[in-house]
């Protein structure tokens, strides 16, 4: 996220930023390599991602969002559409980072956008393209590494660590009471 924030601020990517971020965090080569892959993938597809976000949150278009929110959303959307990471994990991490690094209302905003996006993405991969009207803002580049017919519900059914499952249940209880 930090790398994307810097690239976004400068308007272009540079390898030095991502290398420095990995060194600052004391990450090993595998972690740095995967972080680079995520940042580059997110950066390369940001126009498609931004179009999707703009459509889902027209009152807060990407250009008006705080830089942290904008790049957290971009990274989360890329991860949701390009990895096998369970959606609940991606959303939870994005919310926590928004609360920690952005404005007071950023956690709720990020949660709302990503929740809507996950439901829409599920419809896209489960049904014919365009059936939900989701592709109206243009195609999103989707390079899923797992079976594209796998549904989000199947992904969520995978066994998660107990602390993640417990935290998800607490979040769902909180959201249900709101």
Burial 18-31 (b: 16+ CB within 10 A, else e): beebbeeeeeeeee
Mean pLDDT, residues 130-156 taken together = 42
Where residue 111 sits, what CATH number does that domain have? 1.10.940
> Which residues, at least 6 apart from 102, have a Cβ–Cβ distance to it below 8 Å?
66, 68, 69, 72
Determine the pLDDT at residue 7. 86
Residues 3 and 67 in one domain: no
Residues 18 and 93 in one domain: no
Whether pLDDT at 70 is above 50 = yes
HSE of 88, CA atoms in CB hemisphere, 13 A = 20
Quick check: helix, strand or coil at residue 16? helix
Residues 144 and 74 in one domain: yes
Across 15-24, 55-64, 101-110, least confident range: 15-24
Residues 39 and 56 in one domain: no
Residues 134 and 169 in one domain: yes
Mean pLDDT in the chain?
A: 76
Q: Total structural domains in the chain? A: 2
- The pTM (predicted TM-score) of the whole model is 0.67
The tens digit of pLDDT for each residue in 107-142 reads: 999 999 999 999 998 888 876 554 444 444 444 444
Check if the beta carbon of residue 96 is closer than 8 Å to that of residue 171: no
Whether pLDDT at 168 is above 70 = no
- Provide the domain limits for residue 34: 1-44
Determine the pLDDT at residue 170. 55
Residues 67 and 155 in one domain: yes
Determine the pLDDT at residue 145. 44
Residues 91 and 142 in one domain: yes
């Amino acid at each position: 996220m930090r790398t994307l924030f810097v690239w976004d601020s400068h308007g272009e990517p540079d390898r030095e930023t991502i290398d420095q971020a990995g060194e600052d965090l004391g990450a090993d080569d595998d972690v740095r390599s995967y972080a680079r892959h995520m940042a580059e993938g997110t950066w390369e597809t940001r126009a498609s991602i931004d179009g999707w976000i703009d459509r889902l949150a027209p009152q807060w278009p990407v250009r008006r969002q705080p830089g942290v929110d904008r790049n957290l959303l971009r990274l989360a959307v890329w991860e949701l559409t390009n990895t096998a990471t369970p959606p609940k994990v991606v959303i939870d991490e994005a919310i926590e980072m928004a609360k920690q690094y952005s404005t007071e209302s950023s956690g709720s905003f990020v949660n709302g956008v990503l929740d809507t996006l996950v439901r829409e993405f599920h419809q896209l991969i489960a049904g014919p393209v365009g059936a939900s009207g989701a592709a109206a803002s243009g195609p999103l580049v989707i390079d899923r590494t797992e079976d594209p017919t796998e549904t989000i519900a199947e992904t969520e059914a995978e066994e998660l660590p107990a602390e993640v499952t417990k935290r998800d249940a607490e979040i769902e209880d909180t959201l249900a009471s709101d």
